[in-house]
Chains A and B, each alone.
Chain A
């Protein structure tokens, strides 16, 4: 959305292809206040940011929005195919910005296919978009920011959170989020894991187990926790299918959440036509994603002639903002990942080189 707005602001015509029936991505479920810099909407709730961006886009006649539209593929003649309103359509853009976001990771444990086992995204969608409670007693797996925030939102909806289980020895998310649920009576078990879900037709309980310093289960430490819902918040993986298909050079960079496209500092991939932004470029928080969108949008349209004398200054300002955000200890992993993704450090082996037609 920020890429589209920036591109349109410079005079380019933009088409947004969105799979969902409304714009906003993950923001439409984020009822909590955002961190980050005051200049970049810190302190504002995610839902309010989504509303504001949507309004700006809808009132901008340079931007055409296709919702319930799926980008199907990228072809070598630089055509993007889209299924929209039961039609197969072809678009031939000058530049493409891929901001497809991420998908949730799954966790292997016994009975993880029982009804009542949800991903955190599903819980947020049910609860915050449709007003449907996922269950009555929830075990949250994962104490990263998503696990902590969704636990808090469950409490706000009147659902009991009986445990937050985290395999790592330390809480991964922001400690202020952890403290918020702790003082609301939610226990957090670090160095613990879910061994299995128990239940006949749906989840009735969870078996939790302690982990030793080598992350092995400690025998005899099993504990049964009564619950009807297991919510998995065990990480995200960039959604990069289109980038792979477009033969962007990919690399496995664990710091960014998995396979991501190599890109330059303006977020241009190894395909001259394609830019990437947001979680598809590497898992990070929303403020960074929005800034990346602006940066990619701006650079992309400047390359096709929509530019002005201030463009360098503007590009630099965005890069500077991103740098500031990533400057602290929580940005350390991202900084390391970005070095690899920009080819300044050895990235993991390209796992797609075996794919036919892949360069």
Chain B
């Protein structure tokens, strides 16, 4: 259970994941924020109003999936690094990454799941590190379809080894 291990369970994920239909339509944000904490930058980061305005700053974020374009603006805005964009058409996951060295486009890295387990190989297709992201890079990796909802980190070279 999440509060004991730090790893969201499949039930936790089912509760927040966009429905199958929306997932198949193309890129969409997956917000893995499971505890009410006083935090709201994601709401302000979305240019499309796809994150519901917070009534109470402690509310958990709520994604309006039909408004989400999967642009990924929210990824680096989240202080908890808890937002990802999953694209079932291009078979990619975009994730926040704050380690050096950054991977390069075309590089093959390890895809890690929420527990840090290596589950597949991932190909880096995009590295976004603009100044406005203030050192939180957004890495887009291509992974096999069955790992799109699993891969949440990458390992470039050795990692905690």
Contacts and interface: CB of A to CB of B under 8 A. Distances in A.
Q: Do A and B come from one complex?
A: yes
Interface of A: 32-38, 42-45, 48, 143, 155-156, 160-161, 169-171, 174-186, 188, 190-191, 287, 324-331
B150 to A, nearest CB: 11
A208 to B, nearest CB: 16
Interface string B39-74: 111011000000000001111000000000000000
Interface in B54-112: 56-59, 77-82, 98-100, 112
Consensus secondary structure, chain B interface: loop
Given A156-B98, A170-B4, A176-B35, A35 B79 contact: yes
Contacts of B44: 38
B57 A179 contact: no
B77 A171 contact: no
A330 B33 CA distance: 14
A188 B41 CA distance: 28
A197 B37 CA distance: 35
Contacts of B80: 35, 174, 176-177, 179-180
Contact of A179 (B7, B59, B99, B134): B7
A292 B59 CA distance: 23
8 contacts: A35-B80, A38-B44, A43-B78, A161-B160, A176-B37, A179-B6, A185-B116, A186-B160
Interface residues of B, number: 45
B113 interface: yes
Nearest to B35: A175
Nearest to A39: B40
B103 to A, nearest CB: 15
A44 B115 CA distance: 27
A43 B38 CA distance: 12
A328 B59 CA distance: 8
Interface in B1-21: 2-8
Contacts of A169: 4
Contacts of A190: 4-5
